[in-house]
A and B are shown apart, each in its own frame.
Chain A
Amino acid sequence: MNPEHIVEEAVRLGLKLGADEVAATVTREKQKMLRFSNNSIIVMQSWDHTVPAVYLTSKRRRAAARVGDPGLDALEDVMMTLKGAMDISKPGEVESTLPKGPFKYEAIPNIYDDRIPKMTSELTDVAEEAINAALTEGAKRSSGTLITGEWERFVKTSAGAEGYDRGTSIELSIRAFVDDDASGMGVSCGTRLQDFDPRFAAKEAAKTACQAKNPVFGDEGKFTVVFGPSIMAEFLNRVASFASAYNIDIGLSYLGGKVGQKVASEKLTLLDDSRMPGGMNSCSFDDEGYPTMSTRIIEHGVLKTYLHSSYSVAKYGGQLTGNAFFGGGTWGIAPVPLNVVVEPGEHSVEELFEQIGNGLYLTNNWYTRFQNYQTGDFSSICRDGAFRIKNGKIDQPLRGLRISDNMPRIMQAITALSRERQWIKWWEVTTPAYLPHIAVEDVGITRATK
């Protein structure tokens, strides 16, 4: 079934069923994923999917469906059920209207490389190159994931928006081990092959793993910490998501009611740059057909806006930000960040270490959990290389550390950023982030006591 025809039919059918407004999308995705562990491929996976999705509004009621069955019969059946259920639902608080089109979508440079979809046996070569680079650098074993993707998106709305967009991506995350307690992670990702450097990722992973050999248990207390890009990417993924009006609405954010207030150090400027040339998730329009943009979420520490959909603008005010996508929780279509970007600082990474003098360098984390999303109390486990910084230099490798702190406080306590930035996207960081090393004062560190 032709995707243009599916979105056309979905809009026609939605209006025929009595909806006031309809937004329909079709996403076609082809992905390959090579996974390896202990220097050996464990599986190569491949996906080929066409997925229509539809969003209806009618008299302050809303409904959404994702139909992983590209046939028109299935779409029609689901839409009839959906409209029936929507009519039974009570009206919502506000009446929202889809953005009025038509829109002109400017093409985003450097997001498609026709060589990437053709790679199959070449994936094995890339994995071998990465594994060998890690071994050469001193690693004993490596595990990781190599992913290639090609996507196409079609949108049509009853408000006159209509668009087509496509892109590619390639990403490698590799974790190198020297022994069970000494590991490091490296990432390389991009939308074109020329932006992709598997050897760089592998060498970074192995270098950190070698530095992390023979760790000792770290101390509890408050430390000035230089966070590597991977760990800050995970934290700032969360902060950017907290800026989604959806998370504010359901109480899963500490940023509610704080537009215009200082929510971070003035050193921090955080964007969702959905139109960044070569950006991993860059695309021309959102699922309501509104053109994407570069949105300054936090500018020099001040919260400038929530990320919005048409519904959240109707409810909270503000301007559309082009962040409305299917799959955003219980709203059906809800605001989500696409490319989390931090403006660079002025220092080299070495200068950050020198500035803090004595403290910690933490390269990676996982398993962040919040006690309370409105206060921001949380903890997260350090993973891979963690080091004591002594007299401005990387010193003793450490193990067993947990960051136990408060996210608003961490954002306020940022003291410096490096000028070098890096793309991060891996299993724990699902929204791609482009960011520097970041130094933070008085970070709470705890560890197991028995």
Chain B
Amino acid sequence: MEDLVRYTIECASEKGVEYAEARLHVDSASAFTLTDGVPNPVQLSRERGMGVRILVDGAMGFATTNDLSKSSLDGTVEIAYRTAKASRKLIAKPIRLSLQKAEQANWETEARKPLTEVATEEKFRVLEEIEKNLQPDIVKATIPSRTLAIGDDITERYFANTEGARIHGKASRVDLLYLLTVYDPTRGIIQRIGQCGQTGGWEQLEQWDPPRLVSDEAKILGKMLREGKQAPRKELDLVLGPEVTGIICHESCGHPQEADRILGREAAQAGESYLKPEMIDYRVGTEAVNVADDPTIPNSNGFYLYDEEGVKATRRILIKEGVIKEFLHNRETGAELGVGSNGAARAVAYDREPMIRMANTFMLPGSYTDEELIEDVKEGVFIKTFMEWNIDDRRYNQRYVGLEAYLIEKGEATTPVRSPILEITTPGLYGSVDAVGKEIEFEAATCGKGEPSQGAPVWHGGPSIRLRKVRLGG
């Protein structure tokens, strides 16, 4: 495989290009699913192919193929070259790439129990064990619709560019997805789509203890459905659990700090940003707010050590003490803003261009226990998990609808409440945080961006946080 990548780079070099890179991916994945206890089709996929990116006179061409014959690779290089040249007449500002070290590296995720050695029987056994633990007498709720899925994928990637970088990476990932619909004839329906995901081997799934985890979720759904009262609609204090903190950090910190959005590259798709290039050092929140994005967390869902432009991955501090400190960059935006890449270029497959993505985005811990966050609230709501959410395409006006949530009365979490709605601006939200918990949790998610769309595995998370005087509405 390395030979094919080297061959492709040599082909591109012969054309006298400014820059070229070749990525060869060999990917395999499987999925096993039960719906209401009945197996859905076993699914397998296998992909391999080459993606070639070429820069000619400031214009970028990208071509891909899954025919790895040398004649096909020649043709793919030619197409990338020709399409780049065809673009030149409509380039307002030539694309330049930041100078980066030409890395030589070999990295791999660690797996104590490699996914290739896990028998199909074991995957179905776990699913059936989850199913057993969802019986009404165990969870005290009726769940007429249950879909449970275990998926795994292994991706092996070979990267080379005309600057001498040579990187081989291999990652395996396992995930669990569950869709539960809980029904009560007098109280209606409540749904939860939950996901766990980590890089590594089968041991990661085992440590989630899926039968207990999903069963506990079902019990909570039943409780919210049976006991949930109408959520207040007024100004009060809020405590948000790690799951909610995580989605907030992802949506209204990570995304607006992607430099390609800030520069308008995604305007016709995922949108732009409320931030401008000159807004480094802009205060968006209180001093309690610190947010990072870090691809290097071992076994995280967004784990990588070198990005898809061959740049070494590193922790990025996005917000420090309430102030915007760093954007997420690839080599193109790193050159344009004069700061270099910080290794945020990801591509989910060989046939997708590398683009700026988050990896694992989270709020850094403070010093409070959850009990301390709550005990200082006279009247408020504790939103532990969420269901519906969205944010405008400048990442300013956002909404989170709580799933598991409780009233806070005189410093104690008390009655369950249904569907509390927080609709707030980004500075309004971060500017209301007065205290941050010390226990971090992460949630797995798939982040969508790009055209064609790329669903990138990420984590988002953080500790519980407390917001003062915000309005719950809806």
Interface residues of A (CB under 8 A from B): 32-51, 55, 61-70, 74, 78, 81-82, 84-86, 88-93, 120-121, 123-124, 127-128, 131, 141, 143-145, 173-175, 177, 180, 185, 249-252, 330-333, 366-375, 377-381, 383, 400, 402, 404, 427, 446-450
Contacts and interface: CB of A to CB of B under 8 A. Distances in A.
A236 B368 CA distance: 46
Contact of A383 (B40, B144, B392, B473): B392
Contacts of A369: 388-390
8 contacts: A44-B61, A45-B61, A46-B80, A89-B39, A251-B144, A366-B393, A381-B392, A449-B473
B67 to A, nearest CB: 7
B41 A64 contact: yes
Q: Looking at A39, A81, A89, A383, which has the most chain B CB atoms within 10 Å of its CB? A: A89
A29 to B, nearest CB: 10
Nearest to B472: A449
Interface string B40-73: 1111111111000000000111111111000010
A64 B271 CA distance: 36
Given A85-B42, A375-B189, A45 B419 contact: no
Considering residues B89, B144, B397, B398, which has the most beta carbons from chain A within 10 angstroms of its beta carbon?
A: B397
Nearest to B60: A43
Given A44-B87, A175-B267, A62 B179 contact: no
Nearest to B75: A48
Interface stretch (B155-163, B206-214, B377-385, B424-432): B424-432
Nearest to B45: A66
Nearest to A173: B268
A373 B60 CA distance: 42
B351 interface: yes
B170 interface: no
A404 B474 contact: yes
A322 to B, nearest CB: 20
**DSSP class of A's interface residues: helix, strand, loop or mixed?**
strand
B16 interface: no
Nearest to A254: B189
Contacts of B399: 379, 402, 404, 446, 448
A61 B264 CA distance: 49
A85 B42 CA distance: 7
Interface residues of B, number: 97
Contact of B86 (A44, A367, A380): A44
B147 interface: yes
Contacts of B288: none
A75 to B, nearest CB: 9
A90 B124 contact: yes
A143 B147 contact: no
Interface of B: 27, 30-33, 35, 38-49, 59-67, 72, 75-76, 79-80, 82-84, 86-87, 89-93, 95, 120-121, 124, 144-147, 149, 179, 181, 188-191, 263-272, 351, 353, 387-394, 396-399, 401, 419, 421, 423-425, 428-429, 432, 451-453, 470-471, 473-474
Given A45-B83, A85-B120, A450-B424, A36 B397 contact: no
A85 B124 CA distance: 10
A146 to B, nearest CB: 10
A330 B397 contact: no
Given A85-B44, A88-B120, A427-B268, A330 B64 contact: no
Contacts of B64: 45-49
B90 A84 contact: no
B265 A37 contact: yes
A371 B388 CA distance: 5
A69 B50 CA distance: 11
Given A36-B90, A68-B47, A330 B33 contact: yes
A202 B95 CA distance: 25
Nearest to B350: A68
Nearest to B119: A88
B43 A65 contact: yes
B90 A40 contact: yes
B61 A372 contact: no
Given A45-B63, A177-B267, A38 B46 contact: no
Contact of A41 (B42, B87, B268, B397): B87
Contacts of A333: 41
Given A36-B90, A378-B388, A69 B46 contact: yes
B263 to A, nearest CB: 8
A78 B44 CA distance: 8
Contacts of B265: 37, 42, 143
B264 to A, nearest CB: 5
Contacts of B388: 369-371, 377-379
Contacts of B149: 330
A173 B269 CA distance: 9
Contact of A68 (B49, B86, B453): B49
A250 B35 contact: yes
Contacts of A446: 399, 421, 423, 473-474
A69 B145 contact: no
Contacts of B95: 42
B423 A447 contact: yes
A148 B207 CA distance: 47
A427 B189 CA distance: 31
Given A89-B42, A177-B267, A371-B387, A400 B124 contact: no
A68 B46 contact: yes
A45 B82 CA distance: 11
Nearest to B149: A330
Pick the most buried of A91, A185, A332, A448: most chain B CB atoms within 10 A of its CB: A448
B267 A143 contact: yes
